[in-house]
Amino acid sequence: MKLFISLLSLTCSFVFLTSEAIAASPQNVLCIYNSNSSISKQICDYYLQKRDGAKKLGLEIPDSHFTVPNLVSDTLNLREEMGFTRFDENITRPVMRYVNADPSITHIAVAKDIPIRIGNSG
């Protein structure tokens, strides 16, 4: 239930942010990337090159904070899932701090190696 409420809160925050501006200009976009992943940073930098005025935020996400779904081999090195507590600490809070400090942000672009799913652990 705690997970659902937090996700709902985060989703509602972004809905309110985007309700005024459906089509974003680059100045309204924040690209988030994993600062521990060179490919994540490269993707975000490429995105910013193509969209002059977009902003970026590097998130410090240690590899140990990712969880690997039970159905997947550890050898694949998937960085798609993270436990709720770590997601909140590593993703939600820093992004919300940035967005609250810069009200022009209405859209968020997510680079590789940022978790896209919340798992059951940590």
In this predicted structure, the answer to whether residue 120 has a pLDDT above a threshold of 50 is yes
CA distance 83 to 117: 9
In this predicted structure, the answer to whether residue 52 has a pLDDT above a threshold of 90 is yes
pLDDT in tens, 81-93: 888 998 999 999 9
Domain spans of the chain, in order of start: 2-119
Residue reference for tokens 């309110």: 16
What's the mean pLDDT when you consider all of the chain? 79
pLDDT in tens, 6-39: 444 444 445 444 455 467 799 999 999 999 999 9
Contact 29, 108 (CB under 8 A): yes
CA distance 59 to 51: 20
- The pLDDT > 90 percentage for the chain reads 51
